Amino acid sequence: MAPTFMLGAVAYAPKVVTIWEGFKTYLGERGFAMDYTLYSNYETQVQAQFKGDIAFAWNSPLAWVRADRMARARGQAVRSLVMRDSDQGLQSVLVVPASSPVRSLADLQGKVVGFGAIDSPQATLIPLDHLQHEGGLVPGRDYTVRRFDVLGGKHGDHIGGERDAAVAMLAGEVAASWMIAGNHAAFAKEGLLPAGGTRVLATTGLYDHCTMTVSPGVDDEASRRFAELLLAMDWNDAQVRPLLELEGLRAWRAGRVDGFRLLERASTEQGFYDDRGNILASDYRY
pLDDT in tens, 205-236: 999 999 999 999 999 999 999 999 999 999 99
Whole-number mean pLDDT of the chain? 96
**126-135 and 261-269 helices cross at what angle (nearest 10)?**
80
Number of Cβ atoms within 10 Å of the Cβ of 104: 9
127 φ/ψ angles, rounded to the nearest 5 degrees: -60, -40
- pLDDT (tens digit, 9 = 90+) per residue, 52-65? 999 999 999 999 99
If you write DSSP's letter for every residue of 263-281 in order, what string do you get?
HHHHHHHTTSB-TTS-B--
Domain co-membership, 187 together with 157: yes
Q: Is position 281 within any domain?
A: no
The answer to whether residue 279 sits within a structural domain is no
Say if residue 81 is in the same domain as residue 217: yes
> Same structural domain for residues 197 and 96?
yes
CATH number where 67 lies: 3.40.190.10
In terms of pTM, does the model score above 0.85?
yes
Residue range 128-156: mean pLDDT, rounded: 96
The percentage of the chain sitting over the pLDDT mark of 70, rounded to a whole number, equals 100
Asked whether the predicted pLDDT for residue 190 surpasses 70, the reply is yes
With a cut of 70, say whether residue 1 has pLDDT above it: no
Q: Residue 70 has what pLDDT?
A: 98
> Are residue 46 and residue 111 in the same domain, yes or no?
no
Separation in Å, CA 207 to CA 80, 110, 176: 14, 28, 21
Tell me which residue range forms the domain holding 101. 92-203
Instruction: Round to whole Å and give the CA distance between 266 and 286.
Output: 20
Domain end residue (candidates: 203, 224, 254): 203
Percent of the chain, pLDDT > 90? 95
Radius of gyration for the alpha carbons in the chain, expressed in angstroms and rounded: 19
Question: Stretch 236-262: mean pLDDT, rounded?
Answer: 96
Q: Is the pLDDT of residue 32 over 70?
A: yes
Residue 102 binned pLDDT confidence (cut-offs 50, 70, 90): very high
Task: List the one residue out of 38, 83, 37 whose CA is nearest residue 60.
Answer: 83
The 10 Å Cβ neighbour count of residue 20 is 23
Please state the rounded mean pLDDT for residues 87-99: 97
Query: Backbone dihedral region of 80: left (phi > 0), alpha (psi from -120 to 50 degrees) or beta?
Result: beta
The residue among 152, 180, 203 that closes a domain is 203
Tell me the pLDDT band of 151, cut-offs 50, 70 and 90.
Answer: confident
Residue 122's pLDDT band (cuts 50, 70, 90): very high
- The reply to whether 117 and 199 lie within a common domain is yes
Strand partners, 94: 178, 202
Q: Can you list the positions of beta strands (E) in the chain? A: 5-10, 34-39, 56-59, 79-84, 92-97, 112-115, 144-147, 176-180, 198-203, 211-214, 252-254
Same structural domain, 217 and 82: yes
Confidence band of 158 (pLDDT split at 50, 70, 90): confident
Task: Please tell me the predicted confidence (pLDDT) of residue 144.
Answer: 98
Neighbours of 256 (CB within 10 A): 13
Residue 276 lies in a domain: no
Q: How far is CA 242 from the centre of its chain?
A: 22
Residues 162-191: what's their mean pLDDT?
96
Q: Look at the chain and report how many structural domains it folds into.
A: 2
What is the mean predicted confidence (pLDDT) over 43-72?
98
Instruction: State whether 83 and 218 are in the same domain.
Output: yes
Say if 31 falls within a structural domain: yes
What does the alpha-carbon distance between residue 89 and residue 247 come to, in Å, rounded to a whole number? 18
Would the pLDDT of 2 be above 80?
no
Q: Do residues 187 and 237 both lie within one domain?
A: no
Query: Is 218 in the same domain as 258?
Result: yes
Residue with more model confidence, 9 or 195: 9
